[in-house]
Amino acid sequence: MSTLVVQHPTLSEHTVQAFSCLAGHRPDLKGHSLALWRRVAISGEQLDDAAQTHQVDAEIVASDLQLRSFRLAAFDMDSTLITIECVDEIADFAGRKAEVAAITEAAMRGDITDYDESLRRRVALLAGLPVSVLQRVWDERVRLSPGAESLVRRMKSTGLQLLLVSGGFSFFTERLAARLGIEHVQSNQLDIADGRLTGRLNGPIVNAQAKRLALERTASRIGFPLSQTIAIGDGANDLKMMSVAGLSVAYRAKPLVRNETTHAINHCGLDSLLRLFEDTR
Residues facing residue 165 across a β-bridge: 186
Active-site residue, from 28, 48, 57, 78: 78
Type of residue at 144: L
Enumerate residues 6+ apart whose C-beta is below 8 A from 11. Answer: 31, 32, 33, 34, 35, 56
Q: How far apart are CA 19 and CA 54, in angstroms?
A: 10
Let me know if 116 is a catalytic residue: no
C-alpha dist (Å) from residue 183 to 46, 114, 134: 40, 30, 23
Question: 165: number of CA atoms within 13 Å, CB side?
Answer: 30
C-alpha dist (Å) from residue 234 to 206, 238, 248, 250, 267: 15, 7, 11, 5, 13
181: helix, coil or strand? coil
Active-site residue, from 28, 57, 64, 76: 76
Alpha helices in 159-266 (DSSP H): 170-180, 208-222, 239-244, 255-258
Let me know if 238 is a catalytic residue: no
232: helix, coil or strand? strand
Q: Which residues of 88-117 are buried (b: 16+ CB within 10 A; e: fewer)?
A: bbbbbbbebbeebbebbeebbebebeebbe
Query: Which residues does the annotation mark as catalytic?
Result: 76, 78
